[in-house]
A and B are shown apart, each in its own frame.
Chain A
Amino acid sequence: MDSVNNSHSRVVGVTGPLATVEVGKGQEVSQNEVGFVTCEGVPLKAEIIRIRGNLVDMQVFESTTGLQVGDKVDFSGELLSATLGPGILGNIYEGLQNPLAKLENDQGFFLKRGQYLPSLDEEKTWEFTPVVTKGATVKAGHYLGKVPESIFDHHIMVPLTFLGTWEVLDIKPAGPYNINEQIALLRNEEEREEIVTMKQEWPVKMPMRVYKERLLPDRELLTQCRLIDIFYPLAEGGTACIPGPFGAGKTVLQQIVSRYAETDIVIVVACGERAGEVVETIKEFPELEDPKTGKSLMERTIIICNTSSMPVAAREASIYTGITLGEYFRQLGLKVLLLADSTSRWAQALRESSARMEEIPGEEAFPAYLESRIAAVYERAGLVRLHDDSTGSLTIMGTVSPAGGNFEEPVTQNTLKVVGAFYGLSRTRSDQRRYPAIDPLLSWSLYRTLMKDSLNERHENWVDLVQEAQDLLFKGNDIHQMMLVVGEEGISVDDLVTYLKSELIDTVCLQQDAFDVVERATSKERQVLDFLLLMEMVHHQFEFSNKEDAKKEMTNIQNLFFQLKYCAFQGEDYQKYRKEIETILRKE
């Protein structure tokens, strides 16, 4: 786009990160266009968020200290975009996809404003192999060639923004190229020729819909967290929301999932949270081994890090940047999991800019468009069928930090409307040290019904058994409530046994020790074997004559299962405890 006469646009107002700009005559601007506000001689990146006549409001992605009325503004003609191509993996970006490791730091430590570096390494060369020949007809998203990256082939695509049908005029032979070198020349029906490199751009706030169709999410995404996988499973291409008060273990749960979930790519968006938590991920992931590939976990991970003290406008952008990267890897036919921690901070960023624009507030001063923005974010997840009939998926898990731990607040409620699974963390369970503190009586997953067929591949009655276990948890809770009123004396032996069985399920299946080497991740195979054994015990008819006997026996059984879950799978001890449990089951 043409950007002449740009320099006639000037700042006319500043409040916090919001700058009001008077646009020069004849200058065309668009919503969400990127511009640069020159502050003390340094151009600062900003985005148009409102246009009124010749005045536009721009959120500046950096501190606006020093900005003056009359300062020059240049518009780029481009929307806020992410750079896509080989070399994204393993990076730690801030919200606008600046590589944090390459930024120059003030006094050696502090972020300096106005630095915009290439998101990808421009020097590095990649071994390119073409997969099309001259004369081929291609469309956006079709693969032109591939380069090996990490554990998979990174396909080089016809840029996703290209409309219509294109003919390959030239394709480079196999060999090393960097991301800025031409690898193909394409021509469309209107005789327009375009050079293609390995790098492309995509506007972050636009959903990437370059696929044949969106499919029903009917395959499970294994997180290796039992409470999720068994009781409230997550689907590949699905969405989930994890709300919880502070101290309920949101962060630990996210960290565990980011480490052990069975996916190709994990994108962690640290959005307005503590820097300390990101530091742990940054420092530990390179040391940890991905059990599937044997390589460092960092090689399948991308971190987008806009912690709470970094500029608030970039926090709003960070979630979109993360999702765009996720969608890109989905186009490559990969299974992507995005963890956004926390979407409440993102919503608060919206609220802050809405308040500065003096918009009429909605509930709790959040803008009226909060609901549609949240829906738009989660709707970008999905399992899709690509041009070559392979599939790719983007799964989104977002945490919510509800004020006062009360789920009746706008961000939680609007998120629950659009997600497929809800993992509600409860203070009561975390106070009781029952981790992960996902409340089994409160949480739900729509995917259990949706994925019934694929879940029943675990065992023919799997879904029914899980439902039965869930019912038992509810029943156990009812009995527990009754016991609080009438005491243990007031209930029958049968009720006590039902209660103890529900406690058994809770202790040995729902609760999972995040800090134990064996316990922290449970494979699918083990989930099936252990859960079936557990349910066999639940079905077992005990003949207890009094409550003391019942308690004694159930304590013993609970202890056996407890020991079992800490034993390495199929090891000697594991077999030993299994045998002991089986002996009890065979006893009359």
Chain B
Amino acid sequence: MIIEHSRIIAIQGDIITVPATGISYGELASVKGRRGTSLAQVIRLRGEDVLLQVFAGARGVATGDQVRFLGHPMQAAFGDALLGRIFNGSGDPIDNGAELVALPRIPIGGPSVNPIMRVIPRGFIETRVPMVDVFNPLVESQKLPIFAAAGEPYNDLLARIGMRANADIVILGGIGLKHDEYLKFRNAFEEAGVLSRTIMFMHTASDPVVERLLVPDMSLAVAEQFAIQGKRVLVLLTDMTAFADAMKEIAISMDQVPSNLGYPGSLYSDLASRYEKAVDFEGAGSITILAVTTMPGDDVTHPVPDNTGYITEGQFYLRKGVIEPFGSLSRLKQLVIGKVTRDDHGYIMNSMIRLFAKSREVEQKLAMGFDKTPDDDRYLNYAKLFYDRFMDLKVDIGLNEALDLGWKTMAECFRPDEVGIKQEIVDQYWPDGH
């Protein structure tokens, strides 16, 4: 049943109020006026009044515009035809390709997975970024944020991982992106020839703010269906802080009492309901989420990174263009290290970080004006090699190659008894000729 109304009695922010009956909470409507048509969603019922948030924004909406209720909540098209395509936050193609009329529709923002239907994560996702693979490997079904200050190359890192990771399908959700970032993503994926396994939901900063809210839900709803079909899906989201800011904007327009720095009290639940979509299905596929969260003022205690940290299973810090080896953490790594990956993985990971920490101490000591010893030179050399071979984001090597390079690097700088690895592993892996 489709009902039309043409009396908008209030417009505040991007929220319009229409008197109507028989309307469902969460239902979708189209708002058609002289300045264009947009979708809108019911976010509150109050007696005879229905409050809707207009996806394209309420700017230019006239009191006489036609509001047509569609009788169903927000949906996304789903099918293999999505692969290689680019959509906006409302799910409309923006790549000049064909419309997706024939595809079945799936609801977005669906219910939670029954916790007992989950399995303990056990798959390793190789990203070919050694700071991730070797030191904090990404585990299938994990949700990990990349915490970065503005100006860090987080989108480059995300693009790199999106192009190289050994997932079946990569879904990229851009939230509040600068237009040139969007083009960079598109070109990079095209050039790498991986567009055919990629789906992009792109919202740029100039697009309506309400559409931002839809990007994670769209991306994850589509991911969920592919995962049920047995695909290992990697969802990349950037930037979740822009998503939280959009929620703040909507909450304030609805006169909600803000809790912390203006964010709604439900910020934690709102973020969690998205991140918790990461899952490993028994007997089917999985969803892994890697999401950029920019830290305003480089402050990890800001409400968005802070709430995110409580939800996700670890975090990467991107500082000065590299993944910080010390603060970064993958909480699930012990589930795959040495179990799915090579048996020397754990040893390499611990020893190389310990030696790198020692090198940092040496650097600090020298900076304070103390004398240099011959040992110090070896540590400095190690630090430089570590940076060039592992930390530099340009490095593109697989895990086993990186582990071999780890042995080589340690052997070039140290004796076997200095690396703190048990003898039988050293005997097996220490490179000849050192």
Interface set of A (CB-CB < 8 Å, partner B): 11-16, 20, 40, 63-70, 92, 100-101, 103, 105-113, 245-247, 272, 274-276, 278-280, 282-283, 305, 307-310, 312, 345, 348-349, 351-352, 355, 358, 361, 364-366, 401, 403-406
Q: Contact at B111–A63, with CB atoms within 8 Å?
A: yes
> Could you tell me the distance between the alpha carbons of A274 and B311 in the complex, rounded to whole angstroms?
6
Q: Which of B81-89, B178-186, B258-266 contacts A (4 or more CB under 8 A)?
A: B258-266
Q: Contact at A100–B114, with CB atoms within 8 Å?
A: yes
> Could you tell me the distance between the alpha carbons of A310 and B315 in the complex, rounded to whole angstroms?
23
> Could you tell me the distance between the alpha carbons of A307 and B143 in the complex, rounded to whole angstroms?
15
> Could you tell me the distance between the alpha carbons of A365 and B256 in the complex, rounded to whole angstroms?
10
Q: Contact at A14–B269, with CB atoms within 8 Å?
A: no
Residues of A within 8 Å of B297, CB to CB, are none
Residues of A within 8 Å of B269, CB to CB, are 272, 308-309, 312, 348-349, 352
Name B212-267 residues within 8 Å CB distance of A. 228, 256-260, 264-266
Residues of A within 8 Å of B45, CB to CB, are 11, 13-15, 67-69
Closest A residue to B301 by CB, please name it: A404
Q: Contact at A107–B228, with CB atoms within 8 Å?
A: yes
> Could you tell me the distance between the alpha carbons of A404 and B301 in the complex, rounded to whole angstroms?
4
Q: Contact at A403–B116, with CB atoms within 8 Å?
A: no
Name B377-405 residues within 8 Å CB distance of A. none
> Could you tell me the distance between the alpha carbons of A15 and B250 in the complex, rounded to whole angstroms?
14
- Residue among B43, B119, B306 facing the most chain A CB atoms (10 A cut-off): B306
Listed from nearest, the 9 A-B pairs whose CB atoms lie closest are: A404-B301, A308-B272, A309-B276, A65-B26, A365-B259, A246-B309, A14-B45, A309-B112, A14-B25
Closest A residue to B282 by CB, please name it: A109
Residues of A within 8 Å of B332, CB to CB, are 276
Q: Contact at A247–B114, with CB atoms within 8 Å?
A: no
- With A105-B114, A111-B111 already in contact, the answer to whether A15 and B44 are too (CB < 8 A) is yes
Q: Contact at A282–B115, with CB atoms within 8 Å?
A: yes
**In angstroms, how far is the closest chain A Cβ from the Cβ of B305?**
9
**In angstroms, how far is the closest chain A Cβ from the Cβ of B21?**
6
Residues of B within 8 Å of A20, CB to CB, are 46
B370 lies within 8 A of chain A by Cβ: no
Residues of B within 8 Å of A13, CB to CB, are 44-47
B36 lies within 8 A of chain A by Cβ: no
- With A274-B311, A352-B265 already in contact, the answer to whether A307 and B23 are too (CB < 8 A) is no
- With A13-B46, A275-B115 already in contact, the answer to whether A109 and B258 are too (CB < 8 A) is no
> Could you tell me the distance between the alpha carbons of A308 and B275 in the complex, rounded to whole angstroms?
9
Q: Contact at B266–A274, with CB atoms within 8 Å?
A: no
Q: List 9 A-B contacts (CB under 8 A).
A: A15-B43, A68-B22, A105-B117, A275-B112, A275-B276, A279-B115, A361-B257, A365-B265, A404-B306
Q: Contact at B115–A100, with CB atoms within 8 Å?
A: yes
> Could you tell me the distance between the alpha carbons of A16 and B43 in the complex, rounded to whole angstroms?
8
Q: Contact at B116–A92, with CB atoms within 8 Å?
A: yes
Q: How large is the interface on B (under 10, 10 to 19, 20 to 34, 35 or more residues)?
A: 35 or more
Kindly identify which residue among A92, A100, A279, A308 contacts B119, using a CB–CB cutoff of 8 Å. A279
Closest A residue to B45 by CB, please name it: A14
B313 lies within 8 A of chain A by Cβ: yes
B337 lies within 8 A of chain A by Cβ: no
Closest A residue to B264 by CB, please name it: A355
Residues of B within 8 Å of A345, CB to CB, are 268
B33 lies within 8 A of chain A by Cβ: no
Name B261-287 residues within 8 Å CB distance of A. 264-266, 268-269, 272-273, 276-277, 279, 281, 284
Kindly identify which residue among B44, B47, B281 contacts A109, using a CB–CB cutoff of 8 Å. B281
> Could you tell me the distance between the alpha carbons of A406 and B299 in the complex, rounded to whole angstroms?
13
> Could you tell me the distance between the alpha carbons of A293 and B256 in the complex, rounded to whole angstroms?
53
**In angstroms, how far is the closest chain A Cβ from the Cβ of B49?**
9
- With A15-B45, A107-B228, A308-B272 already in contact, the answer to whether A283 and B26 are too (CB < 8 A) is no
B73 lies within 8 A of chain A by Cβ: yes
B425 lies within 8 A of chain A by Cβ: no
B110 lies within 8 A of chain A by Cβ: yes
> Could you tell me the distance between the alpha carbons of A283 and B116 in the complex, rounded to whole angstroms?
9
Q: Contact at A110–B25, with CB atoms within 8 Å?
A: no
Residues of A within 8 Å of B265, CB to CB, are 348, 351-352, 355, 365
Q: Contact at B301–A308, with CB atoms within 8 Å?
A: no
Residues of A within 8 Å of B48, CB to CB, are 69
Name B20-55 residues within 8 Å CB distance of A. 21-27, 43-48
> Could you tell me the distance between the alpha carbons of A275 and B116 in the complex, rounded to whole angstroms?
9
Kindly identify which residue among A110, A351, A355, A366 contacts B113, using a CB–CB cutoff of 8 Å. A110
Residues of B within 8 Å of A107, CB to CB, are 228
